Chains A and B, each alone.
Chain A
Amino acid sequence: MRIKNHPILDFARDREITFYYNGQEIAAYPGETIASALHAAGIRKLSTSSKHHRPRGFFCAIGNCSSCFMVVDGEPNVKTCVVEVEEGMVVEEQEGRGDLSEKM
Chain B
Amino acid sequence: MKKCDLAIVGGGPAGLAAAIKAHELGLKDIYLLERDNFLGGQLVKQTHQFFGSHKQFAGTRGIDIAEIFKEKLAKREEIKVLKGAVAQGYYEDDVLGYSYNNSFYKLKPKRTILATGASEKMLAFPNNDLPGIYGAGAVQTLMNQYGIIPGEDILMVGAGNIGLIVAYQLLQAGVKVKAVIEATGSIGGYAVHASKIRRAGIPILTNHTIREAKGKEEVEGAVIQELDDDWQLVAGTARELAVDTICLAVGLTPKVDLAIQAGCQMAYVAELGGDVPVRDDCLQTSNPRVYIAGDSAGIEEATAAILEGELAAINVAQDILSDRKELIAEDKTTREKLKALRKGPVGEHVRKGLNKVRRNEDAGKDRYSRSWKG
Contact = CB atoms under 8 A, between A and B. Distances in A.
Interface of A: 1-3, 6-9, 11, 13, 31-33, 36, 39-40, 44-46, 49, 54-65, 67, 81-82, 84
A58 to B, nearest CB: 7
A65 B131 contact: no
B119 A64 contact: yes
Interface string B113-142: 000000110100000011111110111011
Main secondary structure of the interface of A (DSSP, over half): loop
A33 B142 CA distance: 9
B172 interface: yes
Interface string B249-261: 0000001000000
Contacts, number: 97
A8 B147 CA distance: 11
Given A3-B174, A55-B130, A62 B148 contact: no
Contact of B142 (A46, A55, A61, A82): A61
B173 interface: yes
Interface of B: 35-37, 42, 47, 61, 63, 119-120, 122, 129-135, 137-139, 141-144, 146-150, 172-174, 216-218, 255
A82 B119 contact: no
B137 A60 contact: yes
Contact of B137 (A9, A39, A46, A62): A62
Nearest to A46: B131
Contact of A45 (B36, B131, B150): B131
A44 B173 contact: no
B245 to A, nearest CB: 9
27 contacts: A1-B149, A3-B173, A3-B174, A9-B47, A9-B63, A9-B144, A9-B147, A11-B147, A32-B146, A39-B142, A39-B150, A40-B148, A44-B132, A45-B218, A54-B130, A55-B217, A56-B131, A57-B132, A59-B133, A60-B119, A60-B120, A61-B138, A62-B36, A62-B138, A62-B141, A64-B255, A65-B119
A63 B35 contact: yes
A53 to B, nearest CB: 12
A96 to B, nearest CB: 14
A58 B148 contact: no
B335 to A, nearest CB: 30
A2 B54 CA distance: 35
B148 A59 contact: no
